[in-house]
Amino acid sequence: MKHSGCAVNKDRHFACEDCNGNVSGGFDAAVSQIVLCQNNIRNQAHMNRVVTHELIHAFDHCRAHVNWFTNVRHLACSEVRAANLSGDCSLLNEIFRLHFGLKQHHQTCVRDRAIRSILAVRNISKEAAQKAVDEVFESCFNDHEPFGRIPHNKTYARYAHRDFQNRDRYYSNI
């Protein structure tokens, strides 16, 4: 975040609250704050995924100046990225949800999770949410910033962090 021009202060930018329904967290763009729903987070691994998901939204808010409230395509793109990069669609999570397949299952999961997230925060039809996701899916699914790759597990996350630390080195030698 700091590298992208947005300072983060954990005391100001994170809040733990009780939430209604089965929401695990959210990003409040009005105050640039991540809200963790303490009553709905089951364990450390779940919290890690929620924090990562919401940090992707915070990163998009900083980097892309997302118009969350009036442009559903901006929201759709950030939701696709968050579902893709946060671990929401890991094989293990999908097996626990009893959703798994072989061909392009990760993409299907990302698409479905993005649509569900949009419907949770916007009062629009499922068809409108699907249309927005379809319009942005290809480019947003392939946007892996700030990781550079999809961090499928801790090893890939370490590789992504190493790549991030070294990415300026490559460009400085050109």
Divide the 174 residues of the chain into consecutive groups of 10 and give the mean pLDDT of each group: 72 87 88 92 89 92 87 96 86 62 78 93 95 96 83 70 68 54
126-141 helix and 72-85 helix, angle to the nearest 10 degrees? 60
Radius of gyration of the chain (CA): 16
What is the model's pTM? 0.83
54 is catalytic: yes
Residue 11 is predicted with a pLDDT of 75
Tell me the CA distances in angstroms from 121 to 76, 97, 117, 147, one per residue in order. 11, 22, 7, 26
Question: 54, 79, 94, 135: which one is catalytic?
Answer: 54
Residue 51 is predicted with a pLDDT of 92
